[in-house]
Amino acid sequence: MPSEPDTVQRRPLVDPRSGRRADGGPEPDRLTLLARLQDEFAAAVPGVDPDARVPACGDWRARELVVHLAGVHHWAAGMAQGDTSRSEDLTEPDGGAPALAALYRRHAAALLAALDVAGPDGAAVTLVGDGPASFWWRRQGYETLVHLHDLHAARAGSGAAALGAVDVGPDVWADAVDEVVTLFQPRQVRLGRMAPLADVLRLEADDLGWSWTLGAGALGAAPGAVVRGPARGLALLLWGRLTLAEAGAVVEGDEAAARRVLDAPLVP
C-alpha cells in the first residue's frame, strides 16, 4: 500500500458548514477573491464566441455557461439572506456577448452586495441546512473559479489549453479540493446521487504538501492508491474538467481503484 511521505504537511482545516477555518488559522479574504474572479469572468465574456462549446460540460455553449453562472449568483444571493424562493433559471438576453457580459455583471454585483450586507454571521440557508452566510462567501468563490476556467477552455478549445489562464495561488486551488472532499462528495452520498466509496484514495498536492482522503468512511483503511499532482490540477480533476494526464497528476498504487473513485459523481 502507498505510504505517507515525509513531505506531506498538515493542511488548513475548514468547516464545510461555514466555510471558515476550524483550526484558529487566519481567514482568507474570500469576498475580495470572489470579486476579482467575477471581474475576470465578466471581462473574458466578450472575447468568447457565445456559441463556442464548453469542454467537459456536455452540450453547453459559452452563452449557456454565462447565463448559468449569473443565475447561480442570483439564487445564492437569496440563499445568503435566507430567501429560498429564487430560481437559478434566467432568460438569455438578446445582443450577443455584450448583453451576456452585462447580465453577468448585474448579478455578480448583486451577489457581492448581498454577501456584504449579510456579513459572515448572517442567517443563511446553505447546501447543508441553516448556517452562516460565510458558507456562500466560499462556495460562490469556487463556483466562479471553476466556471472561469470553463470560459477560458471554451475560448481555447480544451481544458488543458486553458491551464494557467486563471492566475490564483495553489492555496486557493487546494481549498477548492478541500470543498469537494469535505462538502460535495459526502453530500452526493447523502442525496443518493452516488454510493459510498468502496475504495480509499489519497490526494496529495505536491506544490503544497497537503493531502486529503476520499472514502475515509472505511475507518482505519489504508488508501489503495495515491493521486499526486499540483493543487490546480487536482481541483479541476475532481470537478471533471481534466484527465489525470492533463492535470499533471500521477497515480501510485492501484490505478483501477483511483479511476473508480475519480469516475464517481463526486460533484453535482
- What rounded mean pLDDT belongs to the chain? 95
Q: Which CATH number is 214's domain given?
A: 3.30.1050.10
At 145 the pLDDT is 98
Residue 216 has pLDDT above 80, yes or no: no
Q: Which domain holds residue 248?
A: 169-268
| CA-to-CA dists, residue 204 to 7, 181, 184, 207, angstroms | 10, 12, 18, 9
**Residue 46 covered by a domain:** yes
| The three grid cell numbers given for residue 232, joined into one nine-digit string | 490546480
**Residue 61 covered by a domain:** yes
According to DSSP, the β-strands at 225-229 and 201-205 are parallel
pLDDT above 90 coverage of the chain, percent: 94
- Give the residue-averaged pLDDT of 25-52: 97
pTM: 0.95
Residue where a domain stops, chosen among 168, 194, 211: 168
At 218 the pLDDT is 52
Alpha-carbon span 133 to 77, nearest angstrom? 10
At 6 the pLDDT is 43
Residues 164 and 218 in one domain: no
- What pLDDT, in 10s, does the model give residues 104-137? 999 999 999 999 999 999 999 999 999 999 999 9
Residues 213 and 202 in one domain: yes
| The three grid cell numbers given for residue 114, joined into one nine-digit string | 448581498
**Residue 222 covered by a domain:** yes
**Residue 4 covered by a domain:** no
What one-character-per-residue DSSP string does 72-135 give?
HHHHHHHHTTT-----S--PPPSSHHHHHHHHHHHHHHHHHHHHHHH-TTSEEEEBTEEEETHH
Residue where a domain stops, chosen among 120, 152, 168: 168
Residue 2 has pLDDT above 60, yes or no: no
Residues 213 and 248 in one domain: yes
User: Hey, is 68 helix, strand or coil?
Assistant: helix
Residues 146 and 107 in one domain: yes
- Give the residue-averaged pLDDT of 218-240: 91
At 5 the pLDDT is 46
- In the chain, how many domains are there? 2
Residue 4 has pLDDT above 60, yes or no: no
Q: Which CATH number is 141's domain given?
A: 1.20.120.450
At 231 the pLDDT is 98
**Residue 3 covered by a domain:** no
Residue where a domain stops, chosen among 114, 133, 168: 168
Alpha-carbon span 187 to 124, nearest angstrom? 18
- What pLDDT, in 10s, does the model give residues 148-166? 999 999 999 999 999 999 9
